[in-house]
Amino acid sequence: MAHRLLADRTSKCATPHGHNEFVKVTLKPKASAAVKWGQANYALSFDALKRDWHRFVDEALDHAFQLGANDPLIGFFQTHEPDIVPRLLIIDGDPTTEAVALALYYKLNAILARHVPDFECVRFEIEETPTNSVILTPEDLVDGPQLGQWCHRADLSLNDLSGAA
């Protein structure tokens, strides 16, 4: 994915650039779930657990361009390349690794709630570079910043612009 940060104009990140980001999630059955291991020796197949999250990652997130909601590039894309708008991951404030991690954690929770409601994410990690990663747990979701409504929907949206979902 690519991003640029505007709050610190002296940062190298003020220029659009890309990273190979890696996301790792740890899921477990909710305490309230009546999950049984069964003869297959698992609580739920990996396919069932991964399917909808992987669909989001592969079809929407991969090669997305992360921008802050006030970035003037959004207007450029809306005017000159509207087909690109659904590929813009837009959050309020700068799309730092920390903010994007939180937005994606919210998105994962929305996807889990809809498709595998007996499971929860207990650890979310995103690695932007080998020396820059963010690890989040459910405690980090309490009183977090508002990053956009798209990250609370179990769909392929990356922003709240009209027609982006």
Does residue 63 lie in a domain region? yes
Q: What is the pLDDT of residue 165?
A: 47
Q: What is the CATH number of the domain that holds 135?
A: 3.30.479.10
Question: How many angstroms separate the CA atoms of 2 and 19, rounded?
Answer: 6
**Domain-embedded: residue 157:** no
Residue 124 lies in a domain: yes
Inside any domain, residue 161: no
Which residues make Cβ contacts (< 8 Å) with residue 60, sequence separation at least 6?
86, 87, 156, 157, 158
What is the model's pLDDT at position 33?
Answer: 79
DSSP structural state of residue 145: P
Counting beta carbons within 10 angstroms of the beta carbon of residue 30, is it exposed (0 to 12), middle (13 to 18) or buried (19 or more)? Answer: middle
pLDDT tens digits in sequence order for the chain, 165 residues long: 889 999 988 888 889 898 889 999 999 988 887 777 776 777 777 888 889 999 999 999 999 999 999 999 999 999 999 999 999 999 999 999 999 999 999 999 999 999 999 999 999 999 988 899 999 999 988 877 788 999 999 999 999 997 544
The DSSP bridge pattern shows strands 22-29 and 119-129 to be antiparallel
